[in-house]
A and B are shown apart, each in its own frame.
Chain A
Amino acid sequence: MIPIKYNVRSLFARRATTLMTVLSIAFVVLVYVGVLALAGGLRTAFAASGDPQTVLVLRDGARSETESGFASETLRLLSNLPQVARDAEGNLLASGETLHLQVLQRLDGTEANVSIRGVEEGAFHLRPQIEIVEGRRFEPGTGEIIVGANLPSRYPALSLDGRVQLGRTPFQVVGVFESGGGAYASEIWGDVRDLGDAFRRPNYYSSTRLRAASRSDVSALIDAIESDQRLRLEALPEPEYYEQQTEASAAVFIYLGNGLAILMAFGACFAAANTMYAQVSVRRKEIGTLRALGFKRRSILAAFVLEAVVLGLLAGGLGALLALPLNGFETGTVNNLTFSEITFGLRTTPGILLGGVLLATATAVIGGLPPAISASRQKITDLLRQA
């Protein structure tokens, strides 16, 4: 076995070429990680929104809260189910909510659908992660709303103390809330009845959230809801709902990131091949000497493949490093199921970074394999003579 030091040294011996190849592969990794960080950010935001012990109830057939809707009496029937938990004061942990969409103008003059959630007290009990970071909570019946922390910087009308027309009614922003990195930070929250009046949709809920008394009651609760044919409702654990939202919304970026990266990797493969061919061709004499010293063909092949691996790892590491500053970069896209805007920060998750490094390594190895094979196949005499 030829020591790995030999390979690392020889990469350094042709510094300029190695650096250029490493950089070109690193850019492939950068594109891959960058685009997938969009998907990663969406995933992180949605994952932080679901609680496995909370069951979300929608109209049968609806894929999202925007599409769903049922009369408000239904909530009473649901709250009476024995599997629904109560808090310390004996209040039922159930929350009927509405989700309206309204077009609002972004800072740059473009427009997007913003989610406006009508809630009751229960909504806060079910989501302990909601935390007012500025101002205070809204008072029902007074035309007040609170806005998610992602909104004020994107929508000029939605800053603290700002006024905004929702449906037919002017509302005042009295607070800003965080939601533990979750998707709620892209929503406006207000009293369910105030908003029902504003949007002329009184006495209805888009969805209901119920806290199961325990983890083991979750499936019993879902069965109880879905088996009642009169209700025509469907129920699912909250994380499952958000998983669907992620899949629908992140798919564009996952396809885009993978597609681009694979095609770019082909191009970079050629670069790696060129570099490794050059490495082989200037070292014919060395290879011949190594063979003459008794190193086997296999060792030569392994040595050059290893060299390509080092090249790939360097490139992958550099690409991942270049992509790190993207973390936290705030952006927004459409939630493909609710049709509203979700704002999130880019996330280069360890999985994505690892994928990038693997991509770079595969690129370098696939590119480096043909030169490595040709190096190992040559006869000792040819190698020594030609040099």
Chain B
Amino acid sequence: MTRLVWRNLMRNKRRTILTIGSVAIAIFLLTLLAAVLQAMTEVEDPTGASRLVARNRISLTFQLPEAYGQRLASIPDVEAVTPLDWFQGRYKDDRPENFFPRFSSDPETLLQAFPEFVLPPEQLEAWQADRAGFIAGASLAEAQGWELGDTITIEGDIYPVDLELTLRGIFRAPDSPSQERALYFQDRYLEEAMDNPGIVGLYWLLLDDPEAVPQVIQQAEAMFENSPAQLRVETQEAFVLSFVQMLGNVRFLFGSIGLAIVVSILLITANTMAMAARERTSEVAVLRTLGFRKGQVVTMVVLEAVAVGLVGGALGVLLANLAFGALQPALEASGFVFQALAADAGRAAAAVAVGLLIGLVAGLVPAWNAARLRIVDGLRQVA
């Protein structure tokens, strides 16, 4: 039986390969869509959900007084507080490879609130000592070919200030490699360049216990309820997700695209399977004459389609996982994907299963036709 399936698949190699190819492309696309959606919506927090972001309640374009930092740090269970501002700006030109996050922060507290950053102590000291110094993530420094002591210029856009910065440290973030694509410079440099307005965009808070999240949020928001700038405090995850939400209903968009891909590929596969089965009408009749039962004929045709679906599915998943690395920079440049695409066993299994299912459904109709066939009709068709 398996030999018959194998022989049938090999009879028209070109057709089998073409069909496997189209299933593989479909599964490749589905895997990619699922991986991108996951990277966008399932935000990794290397601190295990114990980091909060505080911002002005009105929106991100409004800032907070500098004095809020110390008061936030006084809340019980708050281990560290660091200011963080999105500088944006322009490095060299607008090409995507030159777009990477540029933050201003306080070198005294940044690493306390971001314990996942690994920076040699002497480099941290060098950064703290140089007001115009900056630190860069290892993958960013590598991509740009920067070395310690190099000087770069970043043109301001949100802030009407150009930055002249010197690289003082290169940090790693082994637990969340996507964070290595950013640079951090001293907030005091920006403050001075802007004539000391005394404001901060965001405060990032690290708690000593994830259980404390709800009460810290409540306490922090209540603390400034009657102040000129009211706070919105949320988990790092919720904060990052709010950016994805702005893009629109991404789940719906990706879902409908995925559905269209599956339907399209189902048609392709079913079509090929039907073609393959039709060509063999007389053979099916011969098999039946030889004593093969209807069930066996059905199983044979379905197995053939399932094999195509399975091989195509596996191939597609494999290709998709190979493509992740190449796609990462472009995705991050889009500004909506904040973490690395990662292979995922569950997702891979699901994708292969979709391939299998496509094969199964595609095989059913021709199998049904083959089974229904009257032997005499099948044999007659030869002539």
- A binding-site residues for B, Cβ under 8 Å: 16-17, 20-21, 23-24, 27-28, 30-31, 34-35, 59-63, 66-67, 100-103, 110-113, 167, 199-200, 232, 251-252, 255, 260, 263-264, 266-268, 270-271, 273-275, 277-278, 331-334, 336, 339, 341
Q: B25 near A263 (CB under 8 angstroms)?
A: yes
Q: B261 near A24 (CB under 8 angstroms)?
A: no
Q: B61 near A27 (CB under 8 angstroms)?
A: no
Nearest B residue to A167 via CB reads B58
Q: Which chain B residues border A35 with CB–CB below 8 Å?
A: 253, 257
The answer to whether A66 and B61 touch (CB under 8 A), given A275-B271, A333-B247, is yes
Q: A17 near B274 (CB under 8 angstroms)?
A: yes
Q: How far is the CB of A348 from chain B (nearest CB, A)?
A: 15
Q: How far is the CB of A148 from chain B (nearest CB, A)?
A: 17
The answer to whether A20 and B270 touch (CB under 8 A), given A101-B60, A167-B58, A199-B62, is yes
Q: B19 near A112 (CB under 8 angstroms)?
A: no
Give the docked Cα–Cα distance between A260 and B155 (Å). 35
Residue B245 interfacial (CB < 8 Å): yes
12 residue pairs of the A-B complex, CB under 8 angstroms, read: A17-B274, A20-B268, A21-B268, A24-B267, A24-B268, A61-B157, A103-B58, A264-B25, A264-B261, A267-B23, A273-B18, A334-B246
Nearest B residue to A24 via CB reads B267
The answer to whether A267 and B21 touch (CB under 8 A), given A20-B271, A24-B265, A277-B15, is yes
Q: B271 near A274 (CB under 8 angstroms)?
A: yes
Q: Which chain A residues border B28 with CB–CB below 8 Å?
A: 263
Q: What is the count of residue pairs linking A and B with beta-carbon distances less than 8 angstroms?
A: 143
Give the docked Cα–Cα distance between A199 and B229 (Å). 10
Q: How far is the CB of A198 from chain B (nearest CB, A)?
A: 9
Those of B257-293 within 8 Å (CB) of chain A: 257, 260-261, 263-265, 267-268, 270-272, 274-275
Q: How far is the CB of A246 from chain B (nearest CB, A)?
A: 15
Q: B157 near A331 (CB under 8 angstroms)?
A: no
Name the contact of A110 in the complex, choosing from B26, B245, B264, B330 (C-beta under 8 A): B245
Q: A24 near B271 (CB under 8 angstroms)?
A: yes
Q: B334 near A252 (CB under 8 angstroms)?
A: yes
Q: A28 near B264 (CB under 8 angstroms)?
A: yes
Q: Which chain A residues border B19 with CB–CB below 8 Å?
A: 270, 274
Q: B270 near A270 (CB under 8 angstroms)?
A: no
Residue B3 interfacial (CB < 8 Å): no
Q: Which chain A residues border B160 with CB–CB below 8 Å?
A: 59-62, 232
Q: A260 near B157 (CB under 8 angstroms)?
A: no
A-B residue pairs, 8 tightest by C-beta: A27-B264, A267-B25, A20-B271, A267-B22, A334-B246, A271-B268, A270-B18, A24-B267
Q: A63 near B157 (CB under 8 angstroms)?
A: yes
Give the docked Cα–Cα distance between A278 and B227 (Å). 76
Residue B380 interfacial (CB < 8 Å): no
Q: Which chain B residues border A17 with CB–CB below 8 Å?
A: 271, 274-275
Give the docked Cα–Cα distance between A278 and B15 (Å). 9
Give the docked Cα–Cα distance between A278 and B336 (Å). 45
Most interface-central of B157, B242, B263 (chain A CB within 10 A) = B157
- Contacts A21-B268, A333-B248 known; 12 new A-B pairs at CB < 8 A: A16-B274, A24-B268, A24-B271, A62-B157, A66-B61, A67-B157, A67-B158, A101-B58, A267-B25, A267-B264, A268-B22, A333-B246
Name the contact of A27 in the complex, choosing from B60, B228, B267, B275 (C-beta under 8 A): B267
Those of B145-202 within 8 Å (CB) of chain A: 155-158, 160
Q: Which chain A residues border B158 with CB–CB below 8 Å?
A: 62, 67
Nearest B residue to A333 via CB reads B248
Residue B120 interfacial (CB < 8 Å): no
Most interface-central of A16, A260, A264 (chain B CB within 10 A) = A264
Q: How far is the CB of B315 from chain A (nearest CB, A)?
A: 12
Give the docked Cα–Cα distance between A61 and B242 (Å). 27
Q: How far is the CB of B268 from chain A (nearest CB, A)?
A: 4
Q: Which chain A residues border B265 with CB–CB below 8 Å?
A: 24, 267
The answer to whether A274 and B18 touch (CB under 8 A), given A35-B257, A268-B264, is yes
Q: Which chain A residues border B115 with CB–CB below 8 Å?
A: none
Give the docked Cα–Cα distance between A274 and B15 (Å). 6
Nearest A residue to B88 via CB reads A67
Q: A331 near B249 (CB under 8 angstroms)?
A: yes
Residue B256 interfacial (CB < 8 Å): yes
Q: How far is the CB of B194 from chain A (nearest CB, A)?
A: 12
Residue B372 interfacial (CB < 8 Å): no
Nearest A residue to B16 via CB reads A274
Q: A112 near B246 (CB under 8 angstroms)?
A: yes
Give the docked Cα–Cα distance between A264 and B272 (Å). 17
Q: How far is the CB of A86 from chain B (nearest CB, A)?
A: 32
Give the docked Cα–Cα distance between A273 and B22 (Å). 11
